[in-house]
Structures are given as structure tokens and as C-alpha cells.
Amino acid sequence: MAKKNKRKWQNRSKQGNQQEKTNQNTEGKNKTSDPRERVLPEIKLEHFTCSFCQKEIQDLPSALSDKTSGEPVHFDCVLEHLKESEEIGENEKLFYIGKGNFAIAYFENPHDLRKFEIRKLIEWENKEKELTWRNDISDLYSTIE
């Protein structure tokens, strides 16, 4: 039994050595010549500051728009703002439900999150308002093939 395990280990180490030799042979070659490997262009996004926390927004695609100005703000800052400004009762939770909307949901049993009732719908982003910063992001990402 010990001999079989030893042979398997030796085979694995031989495979590892062969892989190292292959890597050494390809070091001098252009690695992008393989059509399966693509180099994506670097995407440069405009820099924005969150009006809630005054910090730079690092992840612009996940930002929401400010309700009054339309400028991008951190998702977490909006969530904290809503937690402070909305009355959230016992067995209720605040959720992001998509497309700039939040909801306060009531759970009969707080341990069973499958059954709930939406008590309040909060439309944070105005769907009618066109956001140039978001359009710029969409245009950049749609150019990537």
C-alpha cells in the first residue's frame, strides 16, 4: 500500500516538473498571441465624491444617485440614511429590491425570512431622470466585447 502512494506522489511531482518546463519555454513568447486570451482595455471612470460621507466613490457601478442632485452616492450611505430617517418597527427590515427601490418588510417570524409582507415601498431613484454619469458607465461597458 505504501508503495502505491509513493508512486502516485512521484507521478504528481513529475507532472509538476513538466509544467515548470513548459512555463519556462513560454516565458519569452508573447502570451497574447493565443486567440483565447484577450486583453481588455483599461476603463477610466470619472471621479465623484459622495454627498453623504464626503469620500470618493471607488465602485461607481454600484453607486446610487442622490435623490436631490442626481449625483452618485455610496449605496451603503443611502442605506444608512434610510435606516435613520424611516421608522423600522419590530420584526421589520429594510431591503434593497432593485432599480433604485427599497422596501420595509414585516416578518411574522423573524427567523423565517420566506414569509413577509412589504409594508412600505421607497422609490429612491427617479426613473424619469436621465443620469449622465450612469449612461457613461453603460457606454463604456457596452464597448467591451
pLDDT score of 6 more than 80: no
Whether residue 39 is contained in a domain is answered as no
pLDDT score of 3 more than 60: no
- Segment 5-18 mean pLDDT: 53
Give the DSSP H/E element, type plus range, for residue 64: strand 64-65
Whether residue 71 is contained in a domain is answered as no
Strand partners, 72: 65
Q: Name which of 14-23, 40-49, 81-90 the model is least confident about.
A: 14-23
Whether residue 76 is contained in a domain is answered as no
- Segment 100-121 mean pLDDT: 93
Q: Which domain holds residue 91?
A: 87-145
Specify the residue for cell string 502516485.
8
pLDDT score of 135 more than 90: no
Bigger pLDDT: 118 vs 32: 118
- Write the DSSP symbol of residue 136: H
Whether residue 57 is contained in a domain is answered as no
Number of independent structural domains in the chain: 1
Bigger pLDDT: 74 vs 60: 74
Give the Cα separation of 19 and 62 in Å (integer): 40
pLDDT score of 55 more than 80: yes
Whether residue 9 is contained in a domain is answered as no
- Segment 39-49 mean pLDDT: 76
pLDDT value of residue 106:
96
Whether residue 121 is contained in a domain is answered as yes
Whether residue 14 is contained in a domain is answered as no
Whether residue 120 is contained in a domain is answered as yes
Contact in structure between 61 and 137 (CB atoms under 8 Å): yes
pLDDT band at 11 (very low <50, low <70, confident <90, very high): low
